[in-house]
């Protein structure tokens, strides 16, 4: 198939070309994101491959259909950026990569948690300046703490298991509890109880109408004072204005995020020589108890290899007319 890749970096091209070494598919890589201004680049292609911040709204899907696109391959698990109903109306099939090294994201959530707690990022900078003071680097034992996991899909299960290994009491909330975690003595509770009892909360649920701004003013008011919140899921799970207020009022003790609800146009780009005009993001960065990484939770060799393999497999299945294992429908 002739496939146009959007929002690509060098590492995307390297991994996809390695897996596609037999040149079964013709791959063309565009660094630009897919949006209303760039959709026309898909002209003369059969499929497009997109990432988390590409915009697949109704208008763009209609443009892609006019270009002759029959397949959109998401090289990610989430599909909240796709208007699935509009895709169906335009006879465009959607496929995704439902799981790629879930351990990578779970481990990154743990990295955020440990860094925030033990302040290793601050200690690193101090030592580089020959400052070996321990003042204001006090952390707390993870062992024995209550950890709440919201969303126990594959990644949530991985994270919960790691926390059990730390000797934590793990509470979980999901509309479909995982028997695997129940067998490990993870206690599924109502979300209000999880918010009230947890010292650390980690978000691993998908973004949809029910979970949009799940963490809002009401949720922060129910949490323990000084609790830690980690988000490696989707940015809009957290209401940015509400979390800023919770940090200002010192209700929330720590915030670690790898995703941000207005990350499109920010993350995955080198903006070091530009002025950041996102006031909410700048406000978050001003807090000493906030740690932000640029959507790198998935970014391991194993995950990139799996993403390339499954995406190309999805393309081959579609081209061959076989059943699509990873199709997403409205």
Mark whether 295 is an active-site residue. yes
Phi then psi dihedrals of residue 298, to 5 deg = -80, -10
Residue ranges of alpha helices (H) inside the chain are: 10-19, 58-66, 84-89, 102-118, 120-128, 154-165, 179-182, 191-197, 217-222, 240-248, 279-285, 301-320
Same domain, 77 and 162: no
For residue 22, what are the domain limits? 2-100+300-328
Same domain, 84 and 110: no
- Quick count: other Cβ atoms within 10 Å of Cβ 3? 23
Which of 108, 204, 234, 261 is catalytic? The answer is 234
Same domain, 156 and 86: no
Which of 75, 263, 317, 327 is catalytic? The answer is 263
Instruction: State which H helix or E strand residue 148 sits in.
Output: strand 146-150
Mark whether 37 is an active-site residue. no
* Cβ proximity of 89 and 63 under 8 Å: no
Same domain, 143 and 190: yes
Q: Give the sign of the dihedral formed by CA 249, CA 251, CA 255, CA 260.
A: negative
Query: Quick one: which of 284, 305, 277, 267 has its CA closest to 53?
Result: 267
Same domain, 194 and 243: yes
User: What pLDDT sits at residue 100?
Assistant: 85
**Full-prediction pTM beyond 0.75?**
yes
User: What pLDDT sits at residue 251?
Assistant: 97
User: What pLDDT sits at residue 254?
Assistant: 98
Residues of the chain with pLDDT under 50: none
Which of 295, 302, 323, 327 is catalytic? The answer is 295
Same domain, 199 and 96: no
Structural domain count, the chain:
2
User: What pLDDT sits at residue 265?
Assistant: 86
Task: Indicate the SS3 state at residue 314.
Answer: helix
| Tokens encoding 175 | 């509309």
Same domain, 16 and 153: no
């Amino acid at each position: 198939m002739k496939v146009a890749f959007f929002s690509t970096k060098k590492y995307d091209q390297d991994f996809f070309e390695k897996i596609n070494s037999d040149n079964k598919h013709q791959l063309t890589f565009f660094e630009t994101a897919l949006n209303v201004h760039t959709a026309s680049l898909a002209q003369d292609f059969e499929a497009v491959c997109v990432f988390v911040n590409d915009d697949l709204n109704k208008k763009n899907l209609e443009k892609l259909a006019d270009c002759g696109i029959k397949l959109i391959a998401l090289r990610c698990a989430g599909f909240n950026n796709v208007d699935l109903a509009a895709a169906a109306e335009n006879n465009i099939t959607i496929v995704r990569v439902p799981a790629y090294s879930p351990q990578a994201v779970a481990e990154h959530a743990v990295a955020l948690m440990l860094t925030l707690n033990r302040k290793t990022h601050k200690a690193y900078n101090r030592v580089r300046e020959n400052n070996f003071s321990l003042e204001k680097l006090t952390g707390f034992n993870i062992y024995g703490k209550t950890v709440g996991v919201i969303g126990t899909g594959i990644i949530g299960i991985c994270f919960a298991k790691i926390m059990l290994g730390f000797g934590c009491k793990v509470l979980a909330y999901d509309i479909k509890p995982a028997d695997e975690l129940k067998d490990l003595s993870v206690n599924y509770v109502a979300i209000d109880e999880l918010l009230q009892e947890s010292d650390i909360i980690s978000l691993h649920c998908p973004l949809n109408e029910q979970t949009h701004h799940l963490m809002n003013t009401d949720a922060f008011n129910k949490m323990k004072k000084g609790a830690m919140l980690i988000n490696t899921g989707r940015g809009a799970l957290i209401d940015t204005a509400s979390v800023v207020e919770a940090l200002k009022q010192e209700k929330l003790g720590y915030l670690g995020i790898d995703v941000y609800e207005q990350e499109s146009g920010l993350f995955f780009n080198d903006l070091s020589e530009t002025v950041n005009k996102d006031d909410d993001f700048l406000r978050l960065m001003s807090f000493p108890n906030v740690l932000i990484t640029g959507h790198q939770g998935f970014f391991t060799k194993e995950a990139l290899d799996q993403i390339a393999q499954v995406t190309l497999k999805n393309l081959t299945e579609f081209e061959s007319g076989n059943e699509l294992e990873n199709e997403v429908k409205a």
